[in-house]
Amino acid sequence: MKTTGATEARVESYRLQDRVSIEEVPAGARQLEVWVPFLQSDEHQRVLGVKVEADVPLTLQYDREWGNGILHGRLSPARKVELHISYQVLRWPARVALDPTRAQPLDGMPEAFLRSLLPERYVRVDAEMRERAVHIVGREKNPLKQAEALYDHVVGFMKYDATQQSWKGSTDHALTCQIGNCNDIHALYISLCRAIQIPARLVMGFALEAPSPEQCEVCGYHCWAETYVGGLGWIPVDASCACKYGHAGFGTLDLNHIAYSRGRDLLLEPPQRGERLLYFPAAYAEMDGTRHKHVERHLTFEALERH
Q: What is the pLDDT of residues 181-212, one digit of tens each?
A: 999 999 999 999 999 999 999 999 999 876 54
Residue of 49, 48, 58, 47 whose CA lies nearest to 83 = 58
Work out the end-to-end distance of the chain between its first and last CA atoms, rounded to an integer number of angstroms: 26
Whichever domain contains 205, its CATH number is 3.10.620.30
User: How distant is the alpha carbon of residue 47 from its chain centre?
Assistant: 17
Count of domains for the chain: 2
Same domain, 116 and 213: yes
Whether residue 27 is contained in a domain is answered as yes
Whether residue 3 is contained in a domain is answered as no
Whichever domain contains 77, its CATH number is 2.60.40.2250
Q: What is the mean pLDDT of residues 134-156?
A: 98
Same domain, 195 and 245: yes
Same domain, 159 and 211: yes
pLDDT at 106: 86
- Name which residue leads in pLDDT, 211 or 120: 120
pLDDT in tens, 279-296: 999 999 999 999 999 999
Task: Say whether pLDDT at 112 is over 80.
Answer: no
Whether residue 1 is contained in a domain is answered as no
Same domain, 140 and 219: yes
Domain assignment of residue 224, given as a range: 100-262
Same domain, 17 and 64: yes
Provide the edge-to-edge strand list for the sheet that holds 81-91.
45-54, 81-91, 12-22, 295-303, 216-217
Whether residue 131 is contained in a domain is answered as yes
pLDDT in tens, 147-183: 999 999 999 999 999 999 999 999 999 999 999 999 9
